[in-house]
Amino acid sequence: MTLSNLLRQPVEQRLARLPLPCSISLPDGQRIGAAQPRLSFVIRDMRALLHLKQGAIGRLAEDYVEGRLEIEGDLHDLMASAPALLSREPTEEAHNWLMRRGNRIRRAVWEHTHHSRAADAKQIQHHYDVSDDFYALWLDPLRVYSCAYFSTPDLSLAEAQQAKLDHICRKLLLRPGERFLDVGAGWGALLLWAAEHYGVAATGITLSRNQHAYVNQLIEQKGLQERVRMLLQDYRDVDESHAFDKIASVGMCEHVGRPNLPRYFAKMHRLLRPGGLMMNHSITAGGADNPQLDSGLGEFIERYIFPGGQLVHVSVVMAAMAHGGLEPVDAECLRPHYARTLWHWVDALEAHLEEARRILGEDAEKIIRAYRLYLAGSAMGFERGWTSLFQILAARPADMTARHDHYTDHLGVARGGYPFNRTYMYEQNSVAAAADHRTTTH
């Protein structure tokens, strides 16, 4: 009996659970499934059929990238079907205690060997230096590569990204003249937004050479050299001799590594003045205990997308903040916002596949296949709660015992630190209007 025949029945049973008609074409010419499918899997290598039988969708994604599997159909249909292929939720740990123990040991070894300064720089450059022009095809005009904020349902992606930038600036209570640090500043959107709209003296850091060059060019074009700088620097090496008033860390925490999180936030504590605020905006794990997404998903992302990346539960982030000396004062979950953001990115990339092939050159097909599945799979993961996104605002505690005027300044802010309520975050033009007024009158 051939391997195809051995696997045929369990594969047919798995196909029957899918929410739309699908088919599988085997190398020997056999065809399984619907006569008129909306989604087709063309097996080039029998390993892909075995992974389909096992429900190892991360391995299937690898098969697709490496050409052992072709997938014909719409990505939205593929992601609607993918959960039914799974043997169990990817946020669950293995049921076998020996496998759980082995996975945790391997993960602990990995965690302690993947976050030297040299390793972090190489890993960041692997992802972010693929091609600026490639990212520009599917990101918004400001190249914001993080979760947008759809403050109203009718916003375009570009509008929602601007809303996110302003949402962060309002939460941080940015004011003209304050020293602001953007850790992992990407292509500079938040850095420049804070400088141009809130009048801060802004410093950004990155390990991406492409991003460093791009942002410095923007700074020069905008004539902001006196107030904005972008450094090619590891967060561990930021100068602590002059404290910052406010810090933003957007999409950075995922690259730090779980064992390093308390040290990361301790560094942010040392960089902040007493009473200063930090915004940590990061993807978090949906499961409280799993060290990474199961069913091969974590390994796929590690190999093809974010080497060195690691997600932890939001409770781990908050505990690490506390161990680092910061006080979490506000947390907001933006999980559905990231699902919508990712589908915008998916649709934009799908509309520019031929242009992406021209831009990426020799390795184009493998990179495009990896990103198609990564972006669409991430959208599905946020929709299903396998991953989440939290904005956590934290403060470096300040001594307020000697003060008697805690309640009032012109923005209703407690002068010793964080406001007494969060109304200011959602009042349009509250902080921004004050900042604009002071910027134009000085």
Convert the pLDDT of each residue in 76-109 to its tens digit.
999 999 998 887 777 776 555 565 566 565 566 5
Predicted pLDDT at 426: 80
**Alpha helix (H) residue ranges in 385-427:** 423-426
Question: What pLDDT is stored for residue 439 in this prediction?
Answer: 41
393 and 277 in contact (C-beta within 8 Å)? yes
At 107 the pLDDT is 60
Residue 85 and residue 77: Cα distance in Å, rounded?
13
Percentage of the chain lying above the pLDDT 70 cut: 82
Mean predicted confidence (pLDDT) in 404-417: 47
Mean pLDDT of 120-127: 62
Question: What confidence category does residue 226 fall into, taking pLDDT thresholds of 50, 70 and 90?
Answer: very high
Tell me the pLDDT band of 14, cut-offs 50, 70 and 90.
confident
- Is residue 183 within 8 Å of 247, Cβ to Cβ? yes
Give residue 417's pLDDT: 61
Residues 403-407: what's their mean pLDDT? Answer: 44
Q: Residue 421: what pLDDT? A: 81
pLDDT digits (tens, 9 = 90+) for 133-183: 999 999 999 999 999 999 998 999 999 999 999 999 999 999 999 999 999
For residues 189 and 163, is the Cβ–Cβ distance under 8 A? no
The pair phi, psi for residue 146, each rounded to 5°, is -160, 175
Is pTM beyond 0.85? Reply is yes
- Tokens for 219? 């700074």
Tell me the pLDDT band of 360, cut-offs 50, 70 and 90: very high
Query: Which range (2-11, 274-283, 307-316, 409-418) has the least confidence?
Result: 409-418
pLDDT for position 437: 37
Query: How high is the pLDDT of residue 55?
Result: 86
Report the chain's C-alpha Rg in angstroms: 24
pLDDT of residue 326: 97
Confidence of residue 13 (pLDDT cuts 50, 70, 90): confident
* Cα–Cα distance for residue pair 279/268, rounded to 1 Å: 10
CA distance 196 to 164: 15
pLDDT at 435: 43
Highest mean pLDDT: which of 10-24, 294-308, 321-335, 420-434? Answer: 321-335
Helix pair 209-222, 189-198: axis angle to 10 deg: 20
Question: What's the pLDDT tens digit per position in 266-324?
Answer: 999 999 999 999 999 999 999 887 666 777 788 888 888 888 788 899 999 999 999 99
Query: Could you give the angle at which helices 297-304 and 57-65 cross, rounded to 10 degrees?
Result: 30
- What's the confidence (pLDDT) of residue 87? 74
pLDDT at site 258: 87
Report percent pLDDT > 90 for the chain: 63
pLDDT at 193 over 80: yes
The answer on pLDDT for 404 being more than 60 is no
The pLDDT mean for the chain works out to: 86
Say what the pLDDT of residue 148 is: 98
- Quote the distance between the C-alpha of residue 377 and its chain's center: 13
* Residue among 248, 397, 258 at smallest CA distance from 322: 397
Q: What pLDDT does 277 receive?
A: 96
pLDDT of residue 412: 46
What the chain holds in terms of domains, given with CATH numbers, is: 3-85 (3.30.1050.10), 117-440 (3.40.50.150)
Q: What is the pLDDT of residue 414?
A: 46
Span 191-214, mean pLDDT?
A: 96
- The torsion angle over the Cα atoms of residues 353, 356, 361 and 362, rounded to 10 degrees, is -50
Residue 169, SS3 per DSSP = helix
Q: Which of 46-55, 265-274, 282-291, 413-422 has the lowest mean pLDDT?
A: 413-422
Which amino acid, 221? Q
Confidence of residue 401 (pLDDT cuts 50, 70, 90): low
